[in-house]
Amino acid sequence: MKIYIIGCVGSGKTTLAKKLSKEMDIPYYELDNIAYRRELGRRRRISHEEQLEQLDEIDKQGKWICEGIYRKSYHCLLDRCDKIIYLDTPFEERRKNIVIRFIKQQLRLDKCNYKSDFKMLSLMLQWNKDFEKTLHIFEKRLKSYQSKVIRVKNVQDFTQNKLL
């Protein structure tokens, strides 16, 4: 089974990926870790080609769960996956999740692969707003994959209804 979990920042992608990974015994990958690499204490964006190479290596394993936002580099996952779980979490819930995650990171209760500071919090809140403005473009991209798409409003609905 190859699963691509997609949605906006704060939608619950990582939470769902971890849960499914454990239940199904399938490795999961945070796509931010493919798009960025930490070098010398800084976060560096990886080239499109390098990202595709990493995705090819993951795909060769046969079973995987990838979670992340939509990026051009990840478009191949839409073709390669068996299921696309689109977390269509409401704006206010995403905003709340972003703030709660930030607080947990500050209290060292939650790890992250980026510098958790007020600048990043501000960026995430802005990305959340921007996603609302471009939602129609994102959903248009998913139209040709409708037979694979499972659209849910939150992680709890997905897990309670056993949608896979």
Give this prediction's pTM.
0.87
Assigned superfamily of 2-160 = P-loop containing nucleotide triphosphate hydrolases (3.40.50.300)
Residue range 140-156, pLDDT digits in tens: 989 999 999 999 987 77
What phi and psi values does residue 152 have, to the nearest 5 degrees? -135, 155
pLDDT of residue 33: 87
Closest alpha carbon to 89 in 121, 130, 132: 132
